[in-house]
Structure 1
Amino acid sequence: MSSVNTAIQLITREQAEQGATAKGSTCSPALAKGPWDYDLAEALAGIPAYGPGASSADVAPAATPRQGQLPEEYKLASDAELGERILAAKAALGDRAVILGHFYQRDEVIQYADFVGDSFQLANAALTRPDAEAIVFCGVHFMAETADILSAPEQAVILPNLAAGCSMADMADADSVAECWEQLEEIFGTEPDAEGRVPVLPVTYMNSSAALKAFCGEHGGIVCTSSNARTVLEWAFQRAQRVLFFPDQHLGRNTAKALGVPLEQMPMWNPRRELGGNDAQALLDSRVILWHGFCSVHKRFNVGQIEKARKDFPGVQVIVHPECPMEVVDAADSAGSTDFIKKAIAAATEPTTFAIGTEINMVNRLAAEYPQHTIFCLDPVICPCSTMYRIHPGYLAWVLEELVAGRVVNRITVAESVQDHARTALERMLAARP
């Protein structure tokens, strides 16, 4: 099976040659270009953007990191040449460097990873290499921050392309959350109830900045992943009357609903509106206050896609990620983290048809890894994570060869003052095991 990048290149070429008669579709022909074209466009415009793909319509904050220009030799190198240079650099570095590759990363990069997994699995994987001088994180910005928090101070965490951010993580910033918190304290007060539960506790999804993890750590809160969100909410409800959950509304809603929290007790907080767009009574009656954030990759999935999959493939097993809208999760056979999806397919003993609702690179890779099954993405349009796609073998070759030369580029460093509180929230998450 060809990679997602190869498919995009073929589709784009066919669309240019055949127009409407071309087979297959992608959400943007610009995906076929090198990510350095987006780096240059941002530099010329002076405005950051997430680039083509699922998050192309999301507005990037002015402070979004930007990538400088990749040296020309890496832009012009062929795939084969880049591969040779990456392997040579890896061999020269040996145990001094470890490469982490997220499930959603393109195959052309994943093939060089020492570890493949979700964001927290990879941060933990880095801990198994304490002697590595450099941790090269082929993921997005918040993942590299988490790795820096959990790794040793002398280890350098490197993000091959600084523009590989996360639009969902950017939908909740420290200032907006702090302002929300002040308004909630005015309504709820700060005194615990007769059972010792505080009025509200902050919970942030792993897909958030280090600053927000630190906010949670400082205010008695906790971090969750998609695999332990239920356990974390149960932990929070033991300590608080209600939870402020950010940045992903869908994970928060789906998890709380599964715990029996009524939808009317889950108001949405829109940071651009007074009291988040709510009245005080709705907030007082709440159990979970959901932040107005979402993943643009998982927002693309809908019930119509599931209905079509069931019609075209009777008996199909539909598995979706809990970042999908509630209606999609309700219509699926099961929902769970990227690791849950992978394990569900691995556990199938008989040839099965799976329709998967998560990022296309992971789905494509699962289809290649388990050829005895029929595995396809619910979304028929090839539209990868915009920011994850900003990492290309050219950037990986560049940062590795710089390390060989004794230079560290694109280092991600979290301030010590932020690290302390963020680490506290992460440690609470580790202790809250499913």
Structure 2
Amino acid sequence: MTSVNTLIVQTPAASCDVELAKGPWEFDQLPGYGPGASENDRIPEPVVRPGQLPAAYQRMSDEELHARIRAAKETLGEKLVILGHFYQRDEVIQYADFVGDSFQLANAALTKPDAETIVFCGVHFMAETADILARPEQQVILPNLAAGCSMADMADEDSVEACWEDLLELYGTEPDADGRQPVIPVTYMNSSAALKAFCGRNGGIVCTSSNAATVLEWAFERGQRVLFFPDQHLGRNTAKAMGVPLEQMPMWNPRKPLGGNSVDDLESARVILWHGFCSVHKRFSVAQIEKARAEHPGVKIIVHPESPMPVVDAADAAGSTDAIRKFVIASQPGDTIAIGTEINMVNRLAAEFPDRTIFCLDPVVCPCSTMYRIHPGYLAWTLDGLVAGEVRNEIVVADDVATDAKVALERMLAALPR
């Protein structure tokens, strides 16, 4: 299988940014999200996630880095568990003890209570979640602290608190005759620990793309309406599939009074959507689907629900990363499948099922630029530290934040996907 990094180098004209193929340490210290990031991403100020990698590891060959990783894993044994998200690069995912989406990995970490250290090959909010759910004596490591998430950064604590105050002033705080609260906050997993704690404090819950429908049902049982953040597309696509009319899903822009809405719009709202998005999934378009159907008669198309609503409507199916994988597994040899999600996962599925034609809807090789910050060099450095008795890049969520966030996360874990 040709790795995504190799594809970026071999086909520079078809890559969103050939700089992605370089070692992440070359741009970890720069402002913003680095090469490959969408120009549509609104970069909050400041983004403080400095990456660091000693020069010796920057100069090591791939062979030496992989030898160090294997040796450290063998030495650490059952004391170590490595979690890898589906979107992680192949050079790193090969060392994961568990591979999955955010819901699966949140559960996987709980199955290793005897492990002393959880190394999360993903992004910052995932490592925070692992720390919240871990036992007090367990350590959680994010190999590269610069691995953030632009979507998560689109909803900050101050902006959400200000929105909440406006909504409570409008709706009041008294439940209706059925005991339902005026509004229930729901945050997507792709958010900071502080926002998960906000939901825990205010009767809300966390969701993933796997269980978003179950979570919205949970919220509607308890509330007259939902504030859904930070991803507008997952919220819209999920609520629409449940029968909520589009006119009852106003968008909240935190930079505008009342989020840019009228009082009447908010009074009739069932789901208030935050103005956030994933830059990877925003790349997919109806034109790409039409092109795939024209060039591959009989193609089956599945996209991630973080994609825009017209794309989800035009596809044959939509689902979480785990659902996409199950869709491919359920297909037949000879099938042609176009997938609208991150290129590392699509590339891996194509290699795993060579008797099918599997390709990414977006012809441009463009991985998640922040997930791509996890490189074998950082993994080798953090594991070497553990062998030497040093914990590097530990993620620690403050106790007061973790307590409230855990309430919302445990509600999420109990809301099983359909």
Trace 1:149-160 onto structure 2 (pairs within 5 A): 149-160=132-143
Deviation at 1:207, TM superposition (A): 0.9
2:52 touches 2:144 (CA, 8 Å); kept in 1? no
Give the aligned length: 417
Q: What amino acid is aligned across from residue 352 of structure 1 in structure 2?
A: D
2:250 maps to 1:261: no
* SS at structure 2 position matched to 1:372: coil
Deviations 1:381-428 (A, max 9, x none): 001101001111000000000111100010001111111111111111
2:132 maps to 1:143: no
Counterpart in the other structure of 1:29: 18
- Which has the higher mean CA deviation after the structures are superposed, 249-258 or 225-234? 225-234
Distance in 1 of aligned mates of 2:294 and 2:179 = 52
**Unmatched 5+ residue regions in structure 1?**
13-23, 43-47
Trace 1:165-204 onto structure 2 (pairs within 5 A): 165-204=148-187
Deviation at 1:286, TM superposition (A): 0.5
2:409 maps to 1:401: no
Q: Against the structure 1 CA distance between its residues 97 and 65, is the aligned structure 2 distance closer, same or farther, given a 3 Å change threshold?
A: farther
Q: What amino acid is aligned across from residue 143 of structure 1 in structure 2?
A: M
Distance in 2 of aligned mates of 1:350 and 1:177 = 47
1:356 touches 1:363 (CA, 8 Å); kept in 2? yes
Counterpart in the other structure of 1:346: 329
- Which has the higher mean CA deviation after the structures are superposed, 72-81 or 334-343? 72-81
Counterpart in the other structure of 1:273: 256
Distance in 1 of aligned mates of 2:55 and 2:281 = 35
* SS at structure 2 position matched to 1:306: helix
1:54 touches 1:384 (CA, 8 Å); kept in 2? no
Counterpart in the other structure of 1:382: 365
* SS at structure 2 position matched to 1:244: strand
1:242 touches 1:287 (CA, 8 Å); kept in 2? yes
Deviation at 1:120, TM superposition (A): 2.4
1:104 touches 1:361 (CA, 8 Å); kept in 2? yes
Distance in 1 of aligned mates of 2:9 and 2:48 = 27
Deviation at 1:234, TM superposition (A): 1.1
Trace 1:172-251 onto structure 2 (pairs within 5 A): 172-251=155-234
Deviation at 1:191, TM superposition (A): 0.7
Trace 1:406-425 onto structure 2 (pairs within 5 A): 406-425=389-408
Deviations 1:21-77 (A, max 9, x none): xxx51001211211001024x2xxxxx311112446524323433234311111111
1:214 touches 1:425 (CA, 8 Å); kept in 2? yes
2:120 touches 2:127 (CA, 8 Å); kept in 1? yes
The percent identity for this pair of structures is 73
Distance in 1 of aligned mates of 2:45 and 2:116 = 32
Counterpart in the other structure of 2:4: 4
2:186 touches 2:205 (CA, 8 Å); kept in 1? yes
Counterpart in the other structure of 2:350: 367
Distance in 2 of aligned mates of 1:379 and 1:104 = 15
* SS at structure 2 position matched to 1:39: coil
2:28 maps to 1:39: yes
Counterpart in the other structure of 1:328: 311
1:36 touches 1:70 (CA, 8 Å); kept in 2? yes
Counterpart in the other structure of 1:113: 96
**Unmatched 5+ residue regions in structure 2?**
none
Q: Against the structure 1 CA distance between its residues 55 and 92, is the aligned structure 2 distance closer, same or farther, given a 3 Å change threshold?
A: farther
Distance in 2 of aligned mates of 1:218 and 1:55 = 33
Distance in 2 of aligned mates of 1:83 and 1:57 = 36
Deviations 1:271-325 (A, max 9, x none): 0000000011110010000000000000000000000000000000000000000
Distance in 2 of aligned mates of 1:96 and 1:385 = 30
